[in-house]
Structure 1
Amino acid sequence: MYLGIDCGTQGTKALLIDEQGIAHGRGHATHQVIQRPSGAREQDPQWWIEALRLSVKQAVAQASGQPIEALAVSGQQHGLVILDERMQVIRPAKLWNDTETAPQNEELIARFGGQQAFFERFGIIPLTGYTVSKLLWLRQREPENFARIRHILLPHEYLNFWLTGNLFAEYGDASGTGYFDVRNRTWAAEVLASIDQGTGHLLRALPTLVPAQRIIGAVKPDVAADLGISNACLVASGGGDNMMGAIGTGNVIEGVVTMSLGTSATVYSFRNKPTASPNPSIAPFCSSSNGWLPLVCTMNATNVVTQILDTLGRTVIDIESALATTRPGADALTFIPFLNGERTPDLPSAQGSLLGISASNLTPENLIRATIEGVSFGILEGLDLILDGTSAKRILLIGGGSRSAHWRQLLADASGTDVHVPLEEEAGCLGACIQAIFAARGEMGSPETFIQICDRCSRLDDQRTASPNPVLASQYAQARAAYQHHRATQYGV
């Protein structure tokens, strides 16, 4: 048996599978989030430990005592956990969606000559929320805590430390810190030196980097006893939630795309080589499967759809009938869904717009369609960015939006690509399980490739596949062109 643990912002989930990817146990526990008007978003790492304990015990209890050979942890990206000389957490972890460090992010980029120069040196352009600006914020705002730092960890690395007592980092999650050279897969010492003024304090605090096939240790006896598993259970390197989500959806070869329609939307695709162009909309991460994983995120997705439905007095059930009874383009009604600002394009202060309103097209059904089209066209532009002129073989759709048959069909028609839905909804957990199998197989001298393991463990729900309708392709092309025209007119991009 293999255990995957996914520590997200809202909670931690656990999944137990066998060699064939069949689930034998599941668990879930929620987290609190500390929120402040300044934009701070923080969590006490102890909450993650308690949620891990609860969720894993739930999963193990369902598996009838079958031994667990290996596990891996998937964790929310970009969070900052700092430990003192006694290996104790110094302060709550600042999370990926913490925005009060935005001035520090701008300052760091400026120190290196701007976005182009930063990309040329390190292969990435840090965004607000990445780990690096949190370190500068600490130096400027909490110098006493900054001085106490002896170890710097990401969320999944901290949980690995709790499980094994060992300190390691892996390339995928590390590539989202902003102090990592994504081309050479090394820590960017220059970036850290610009924060600690060349003392080497921060570089010495970073864990050793390891590749995806590395076993970082075994579960400590006291932890194993508490969780109800064997202390012979091996722990793989794990990784960031997007990286584990890619593995869990079989996104380990070029041409496969994972698209997540949740509160925000993300789209990413495995690459054998790093991103060559410095587009600030693309996060040119490393994968946790020994490649690269360029990623685009939009801030407005199911959250906007839900808000429009609530305003109309409708529910998600009404999405199907609204899309079924309206035509592509919503009778020339266009909705720019930037209700929360936007990351792609980079418009943090933007507001939404409803354009092309007439007496004949302003109906609840058209408004629902226009909203879903606005969200979809935004993330499909992200898809175009990461594909960079190449074509996708298939799109793996996850998140809440994947549950709508007509939304899946809209994405297939608008992209011209087959849209599939994984049978296992918890892609992060499954990806962690698959990485655990991969690392354990290598450790035992019987290696398998990620492709081989994903082929048998990451299965599709064939009943929910959507294939593009060529008849509608031109209609969606016109609707996307109208969306892009209105957006350019409103926002200049």
Structure 2
Amino acid sequence: MYLGVDCGTQSTKVVVVDVQAGKLLGEASRPHHLVEGDNGRREQAPDEWIEAFIGAFHEALDRAGVPANEIRAIGISGQQHGMVALDAAGQPLHPAKLWCDTESNVQNERLVARLGGEQGCLDKLGLVLQTGYTASKIAWLRELHPEVYRRIDSILLPHDYLNYWLTGEKVAEAGDASGTGYFDTRRRQWHFEVFHEIAPELDAERVLPRLIDSRQPAGQVRTELARQLGLADGVLVSSGGGDNMLGAIGTGNISPGMVTMSLGTSGTICAHAAESIEADSALLANFCASHAGWLPLICTMNVTSATTRIRELFGLDIAAFNTAIERASLGADGVTVLPFFNGERVPALPEASASFLGMTSRNTSPENLCRAVVEGATFGLRYGLELLGPLASRASQIRLIGGGARSPVWRQIVADVTGTEVICPQVTDAAALGGAIQAAWCAGEGTLEALCGHLVKVDQTSRATPEAAAVRRYDDAYTRYLSVLGRLHGDIY
């Protein structure tokens, strides 16, 4: 039996997988509390991740009917880019600043300039620093909390921190490390000179975790912790990876020719590449994969985080929200939403706010506003999909994951907006499944290709095929969206 864990923005999810039978036996989740501030601050306490892990761990095993001592290995997926700064005793010095935290926008702009602008970043790292990356968070801590910064003994990403809690080992792998802003994504190694620009007082070779290959274990669960959790001795913890990288594994996106799209708190689109890419746009992240090769990726910051705000504004549960979307007409009777409640990464508008446009006395209704925010989030993903170029245009199918993927009406909107067939894996929490698959791979259960072929199954009932008339109408609505985007925010290409 193998355990997959996804520590996301909103919750930690745990799945129990029987690799031999090819089945997910049980799953559970526990929520996290998000601390938000008007200046773009979005933080969490790392202790909450551990508490959530323990609760979801026990419930998932109970639901699966599996005793903890039958677990052979664990694979951890985590929200990317978060900064977990630890002291010499391994304790967090500050709440973890998350991927969606935009408080360090000024520091990011300064870092990009010091590294030689966008071209300098591309030359050094293979990508351009974004406000969400870890780099500017460290610079922010150095500038605003120097007394905390001076006590830093190590810096980990969220999934690395959970690996450390489980094993006592401070390690990292190329996939998640790609999103730090001080990792050379082409050579798959830390860029110590760039880290010195970010944190000149810190010794990078001591502060940064040891890099391991994605196939290598991070370590074994600590004996004392294993006793507390009821695990047997010697349980492996795989390298793990970022949620996007493990989500790719969990959808079978491990070779060229497939696109994975996530309708989660944020939106992501990725396509596997055998070689490092030369990005045409600074918005395209040349990330490494958490198995082999690369995973060029686009990330938007407002998907279910945006739809949840509107749904709760009208006091709707998820079923009622989906009904409202269905009742509204395609294009929401002319209402256009730029759902940038958290700023935006693609396009690069970290200080933007949400905008609702085209509202009149005739079209302003809960139904239209609900549909318009879903369409706006989906238009943002189409914008990102187009930036992937040939990697996306050659794909005949999109594997859709995340909470929004459970909505049939939203799946159809994605199919019509992109003009591409959409289908969901049977397990839509693909990052947690990807963690379990990687754990089994690490433990020697077989090749990754064979494991994905055995465990990743699509839900044929979820298939959504683009409808020609709707595709044409959405082309017009998307053009309207781009026009509004350009009018409010200038040249966004």
TM-score computed with the length of structure 1 as normaliser: 0.90
- Determine the structure 1 residue equivalent to 2:56: 55
Asked if the contact 1:57–1:228 (Cα under 8 Å) also holds between the matched residues in 2, the reply is no
| 1:293 counterpart letter in structure 2 | L
| 2: CA distance, partners of 1:440 / 1:69 | 8
| 2: CA distance, partners of 1:361 / 1:37 | 31
- Determine the structure 1 residue equivalent to 2:485: 487
Deviation at 1:87, TM superposition (A): 3.5
Larger mean Cα displacement after TM superposition, 389-398 or 376-385:
389-398
Larger mean Cα displacement after TM superposition, 183-192 or 259-268:
259-268
The change in CA–CA distance for 1:473 and 1:51 in structure 2 (over 3 A counts) is closer
The change in CA–CA distance for 1:86 and 1:312 in structure 2 (over 3 A counts) is closer
Three-state SS of the structure 1 residue aligned to 2:440 is helix
The change in CA–CA distance for 1:324 and 1:182 in structure 2 (over 3 A counts) is same
| 2: CA distance, partners of 1:416 / 1:351 | 29
| 2: CA distance, partners of 1:316 / 1:98 | 26
- Give the one of 252, 255, 267 matched to 1:253: 255
Asked if the contact 1:257–1:392 (Cα under 8 Å) also holds between the matched residues in 2, the reply is yes
Cα deviation code 1:157-214 (max 9, x no counterpart)? 12212222222110011011101000110101111122343x6612322122112111
- Give the one of 323, 326, 343 matched to 1:341: 343
Three-state SS of the structure 2 residue aligned to 1:317 is helix
**Equivalent residue runs for 1:41-440 within 5 Å:** 41-61=42-62, 62-65=64-67, 67-197=70-200, 201-277=203-279, 279-309=281-311, 316-318=318-320, 320=322, 324=326, 327-356=329-358, 365-388=367-390, 390-440=393-443
Deviation at 1:407, TM superposition (A): 1.9
Asked if the contact 2:141–2:148 (Cα under 8 Å) also holds between the matched residues in 1, the reply is yes
| 1: CA distance, partners of 2:399 / 2:80 | 21
The change in CA–CA distance for 1:391 and 1:318 in structure 2 (over 3 A counts) is farther
Asked if the contact 1:6–1:74 (Cα under 8 Å) also holds between the matched residues in 2, the reply is yes
| 1: CA distance, partners of 2:380 / 2:83 | 30
| 2: CA distance, partners of 1:145 / 1:308 | 37
| 1:176 counterpart letter in structure 2 | G
Larger mean Cα displacement after TM superposition, 165-174 or 279-288:
279-288
Asked if the contact 2:416–2:466 (Cα under 8 Å) also holds between the matched residues in 1, the reply is yes
Cα deviation code 1:447-482 (max 9, x no counterpart)? 41x222112212122111111223433222222223
Cα deviation code 1:395-442 (max 9, x no counterpart)? 12222322221221121122221111121132221110010011111x
Larger mean Cα displacement after TM superposition, 145-154 or 106-115:
145-154
Larger mean Cα displacement after TM superposition, 122-131 or 258-267:
258-267
| 1:15 counterpart letter in structure 2 | V
Asked if the contact 2:273–2:294 (Cα under 8 Å) also holds between the matched residues in 1, the reply is yes
| 1: CA distance, partners of 2:440 / 2:458 | 20
- Determine the structure 2 residue equivalent to 1:470: 468
The change in CA–CA distance for 1:485 and 1:208 in structure 2 (over 3 A counts) is same
- Determine the structure 2 residue equivalent to 1:4: 4
| 2: CA distance, partners of 1:332 / 1:51 | 42
| 2: CA distance, partners of 1:140 / 1:132 | 13
| 1:434 counterpart letter in structure 2 | I
Asked if the contact 1:333–1:367 (Cα under 8 Å) also holds between the matched residues in 2, the reply is yes
Asked if the contact 2:279–2:286 (Cα under 8 Å) also holds between the matched residues in 1, the reply is no
Asked if the contact 2:408–2:462 (Cα under 8 Å) also holds between the matched residues in 1, the reply is yes
| 2: CA distance, partners of 1:185 / 1:414 | 35
Asked if the contact 2:402–2:429 (Cα under 8 Å) also holds between the matched residues in 1, the reply is no
| 1: CA distance, partners of 2:267 / 2:457 | 22
Asked if the contact 2:397–2:423 (Cα under 8 Å) also holds between the matched residues in 1, the reply is yes
| 2:180 counterpart letter in structure 1 | T
Deviation at 1:18, TM superposition (A): 0.6
Cα deviation code 1:249-272 (max 9, x no counterpart)? 222122222222233322222222
Asked if the contact 1:125–1:278 (Cα under 8 Å) also holds between the matched residues in 2, the reply is no
| 1: CA distance, partners of 2:102 / 2:334 | 36
Deviation at 1:307, TM superposition (A): 4.2
The change in CA–CA distance for 1:131 and 1:363 in structure 2 (over 3 A counts) is closer
Asked if the contact 1:60–1:228 (Cα under 8 Å) also holds between the matched residues in 2, the reply is no
Asked if the contact 1:211–1:290 (Cα under 8 Å) also holds between the matched residues in 2, the reply is no
Asked if the contact 1:132–1:177 (Cα under 8 Å) also holds between the matched residues in 2, the reply is yes
The change in CA–CA distance for 1:60 and 1:362 in structure 2 (over 3 A counts) is closer
Asked if the contact 1:168–1:210 (Cα under 8 Å) also holds between the matched residues in 2, the reply is yes
Three-state SS of the structure 2 residue aligned to 1:284 is coil
Asked if the contact 1:124–1:278 (Cα under 8 Å) also holds between the matched residues in 2, the reply is no
Three-state SS of the structure 1 residue aligned to 2:450 is helix
- Determine the structure 2 residue equivalent to 1:17: 17
| 1: CA distance, partners of 2:228 / 2:471 | 56
- Determine the structure 2 residue equivalent to 1:453: 451
Unmatched segments (≥5 aa) in structure 2: none
| 1: CA distance, partners of 2:354 / 2:147 | 42
Three-state SS of the structure 2 residue aligned to 1:136 is helix
Deviation at 1:394, TM superposition (A): 1.5
Three-state SS of the structure 2 residue aligned to 1:267 is strand
| 1: CA distance, partners of 2:331 / 2:458 | 30
Deviation at 1:330, TM superposition (A): 4.1
| 2: CA distance, partners of 1:259 / 1:60 | 29
| 1:483 counterpart letter in structure 2 | Y
| 1: CA distance, partners of 2:353 / 2:149 | 37
Three-state SS of the structure 1 residue aligned to 2:438 is helix
Asked if the contact 2:102–2:350 (Cα under 8 Å) also holds between the matched residues in 1, the reply is no
| 2: CA distance, partners of 1:88 / 1:335 | 42
Larger mean Cα displacement after TM superposition, 148-157 or 348-357:
348-357
Matched, 1:31 2:29: no
